[in-house]
Amino acid sequence: MASPVTTDAPATAPAPAAPLPEVRKLGGRIGAVLTGVRLGGDLAPETVAAVRAAILEHKVVFFRDQGHLDEDSHEAFAQVLGTPVAHPTVPSADGRYALGIDSDHGARANQWHTDVTFVPAYPAFSILRAVTIPPYGGNTLWANTATAYTGLPEPLRVLADSLRAVHSNDYDYAALRPDALPEALAQYREVFTAVKFRTEHPVVRVHPETGERNLLLGNFVQKIAGLTGQDSRVLFDLFQSHIERPENTVRWQWQVGDVAIWDNRATQHYGTDDSDDHVRTLRRVTVDGDVPVGPDGRASVLLEPSEVPEPAFGPASGAGGAA
């Protein structure tokens, strides 16, 4: 009869457990605050997996007190979630991937949108870091496009499943920003639409990681495919209004050092323009996504130009959709 194996080797202390975030929900449908994690490029795989799972579940997650992050460590953290990508037209703030979201560039995002949906493979995640925060205002709101879909009455879900929409970066900024200086508008428009993109997406995107169905609309939508102007506008407003319902949203009051990470495939967001002339500076790094697919299995299609051009540095967001 075999006796139990014994060993004289000294017991080694177990490796300290990787820190896992504590998760506190902010609302019933969207948003959670995560604590106990110091973000960076050196996170343990278990910590990364927990953060990623929280993003997928809560759609947007918030971290306070991440003031140690700079351009490099912000980008290094992005790399643990995927491949950082540059904006297809707007030059970065640091010559690499960080996009400046600055109050003085005439670029306030006070329209509900999903980032960069005018290209096919728009970003999967956006990571926004607060650098300078005004004394009041400048909050950001996010909306859950998955619960917006599941909350629709059945006939509207069936209708949405059948629709596709054309998204473009070329629209009337002057109509959206009546208070902006003409020179600022012209300059921003010239940069943002240096290349004019048009992409046809399904109105309902099947999420590649969760399998959930999401409404894919927002202010880059030019029209619902196959419909005339008024019909297109009415249908857009109908579905978009379900996304924007207050119960479907969360609102964040920024502090310096905050980081917000959202699943750009399952949300829209809106930056409020209500801090007068106070400076507000945030840095955004986006992580590459893949080409959306609708409930019928049809993928998004780039209509214009023939391919997504490479920006000055790094791969372009959406370039994977050019093929």
Q: Considering the complex, what minimum distance in angstroms separates the CB of residue 148 from Fe ion?
A: 17
Element (H, E) at 24: strand 22-25
Report phi then psi at 29, rounded to 5.
-115, -20
Q: Map residues 80-109 to x or -, x wherever contact with Fe ion holds by CB under 5 A.
A: -----------------------------x
Report phi then psi at 239, rounded to 5.
-75, -40
Catalytic-labelled residue, pool 74, 108, 207, 269: 269
Gap between the Cα atoms of 16 and 157, Å rounded: 48
Catalytic-labelled residue, pool 29, 113, 167, 280: 113
Gap between the Cα atoms of 188 and 172, Å rounded: 12
Catalytic-labelled residue, pool 58, 87, 108, 115: 115
- Interaction of residue 75 with Fe ion, rule CB under 5 A: no
Q: At what angle do helices 154-161 and 229-243 cross, to 10 degrees?
A: 120
Q: In the bound complex, which residue of the shown chain has the CB atom lying closest to Fe ion?
A: 115
Q: Considering the complex, what minimum distance in angstroms separates the CB of residue 130 from Fe ion?
A: 14
Q: Map residues 105-124 to x or -, x wherever contact with Fe ion holds by CB under 5 A.
A: ----x-----x---------
If 0-12 CB within 10 Å is exposed, 13-18 middle and 19+ buried, where does residue 4 land? exposed
Q: Is 113 a catalytic residue?
A: yes
Q: Considering the complex, what minimum distance in angstroms separates the CB of residue 167 from Fe ion?
A: 14
Q: Is 269 a catalytic residue?
A: yes
Nearer to Fe ion, 128 or 163 (CB): 128
Nearer to Fe ion, 21 or 269 (CB): 269
Question: Which residue, 250, 216, 320, is CA-closest to 33?
Answer: 250
Q: Which residues bind Fe ion (CB under 5 A)?
A: 109, 115
User: Catalytic positions, please?
Assistant: 113, 115, 269, 284
